[in-house]
Structures are given as structure tokens and as C-alpha cells.
Amino acid sequence: MKFTIDHFNINVLDLNKSLAFYHKALGLKEEQRKTADDGSYIIVFLADGISANKIELTWLKLQDRPYDLGDEEFHIAFRTKEFDAAHTLHQEMDCICYENKDIGIYFIQDPDGYWLEICPAR
């Protein structure tokens, strides 16, 4: 059997804030949306328009506090040919939370505290 990665889910408190962040910071665009008939959740799939991989943002109506991200040891990595321009944008957005200049990567943090690794295309 073979499997391919389709998407990675993260839960968000403010869907509109998260959608704006992922669009501005990473250029991701809404590809699909599912709203529960009773309004209890909204699921939005974001895509980069290049690969088949997606991020699924899930908003839950009853969630009234920030999500417990544990030790924050997980992250999603993004690769870009425009690393320097991305770094400048993320500095302007004030969302860089960690840099490792020795290996040439950095991390940005989304509105819910999830870490996203930014790597140069090599």
C-alpha cells in the first residue's frame, strides 16, 4: 500500500484572523469550506496552488479558550525560493518567533501559537 499526505489539521479560535494570516504570510488560499448545518463548526481547506498538500483550519463554535499546544514540538514546514523576501515580510508582520541562522531557517507563529518553519529552496 502507498499513501500520500493530503492535509494537516489545526484548530483555530478566530477563523477570519487565521485566514488573513495564512494568506498574507504564506500566500495560501481557501480551496474548500464546509459549515455544519447546526453552525457548530466550520472547516476551511487552504492550498498553495502548487502542491496537492493542504492545511485544514477547523473552527469550533464552543471553543472559548486558546488551544493547549502542549510542548509545541510539532510544526509545518514551508519551502520558498524567495527566502529573503519572505523573511522581510515576516519581520514586518512581527511573526518570527525563532531563527536558526546556522542552518538557515526560521519559524513564524500563527495567531493561535502554531509554529511554521520557513526553509529556503536549495
Fold of the domain built from segment(s) 7-62+73-120: 2,3-Dihydroxybiphenyl 1,2-Dioxygenase; domain 1 (3.10.180)
Q: Domain extents for the chain?
A: 7-62+73-120
Identify any residues that bridge with 9 across adjacent strands, giving them in sequence order.
56
Residue 6: its pLDDT value, please? 85
User: In whole angstroms, what is the distance from residue 25 CA to residue 53 CA?
Assistant: 17
- Total-model pTM: 0.90
The percent of residues in the chain predicted with pLDDT above 90, rounded, is 84
Residue 87, Cβ neighbours under 10 Å: how many? 17
Q: What is the 3-state secondary structure (H, E, C) of 34-61?
A: EECCCCCEEEEEEECCCCCCEEEEEEEC
User: In whole angstroms, what is the distance from residue 88 CA to residue 36 CA?
Assistant: 38
pLDDT above 90 for 68: no
- DSSP alpha helix (H) spans, 3-122: 15-26, 83-93
